[in-house]
Homo-oligomer: A and B are copies of this chain.
């Protein structure tokens, strides 16, 4: 197994940026998401909402470090149709993270484990590697995913 640590920590300097969009072509949504993530957003997600006059809109949400707020605003104003945005301060609690490799019939696949106060509470196969394996070997994705989880549990992981 290989290791790749990330320490558990709390980050108090985060902001959540929000914009309500009722006149944007929804086709643009994945592109806007990618642009924000490439520019350093920690997370980007969209919430279906109902706006005034009964319009079904979308609320863009960007979680980002406060010092990158300006860069996010520039992208939101350039790439969406909004005339305004809002933001709130937030704190993030992130688990310690360890990447490990497990052996499978189709070769090694990475598992990401999460540690809370020194104890492993999460583990998940790296999705993209499972997807590539499923395509390359012509097996159902859920079978690859399941086998990685089984193999990781059997090895006992790095407790």
In whole angstroms, how far apart are the Cα atoms of A90 and B87 in the complex? 6
A150 and B141 form a contact (CB under 8 A): no
In whole angstroms, how far apart are the Cα atoms of A64 and B146 in the complex? 29
Which residues from B are CB-within-8-Å of A63? 86
A45 and B49 form a contact (CB under 8 A): yes
In whole angstroms, how far apart are the Cα atoms of A20 and B92 in the complex? 12
Per-position binary interface string of chain A over residues 1-36, scored 1 when its CB falls under 8 Å from any chain B CB and 0 otherwise: 000000000000010100010111111111111000
Which of A30, A77, A112 lies at the interface centre, i.e. has the most chain B CB atoms within 10 A of its CB?
A: A77
In whole angstroms, how far apart are the Cα atoms of A145 and B32 in the complex? 14
B91 and A56 form a contact (CB under 8 A): no
Of B51, B94, B153, which is within 8 A of A45 by CB? Answer: B51
Chain B CB within 8 A of A122 CB? yes
Q: Please report which residues of chain A, range 32-69, place their CB below 8 angstroms from some CB of chain B when the two chains form the complex.
A: 32-33, 37, 43-59, 61, 63
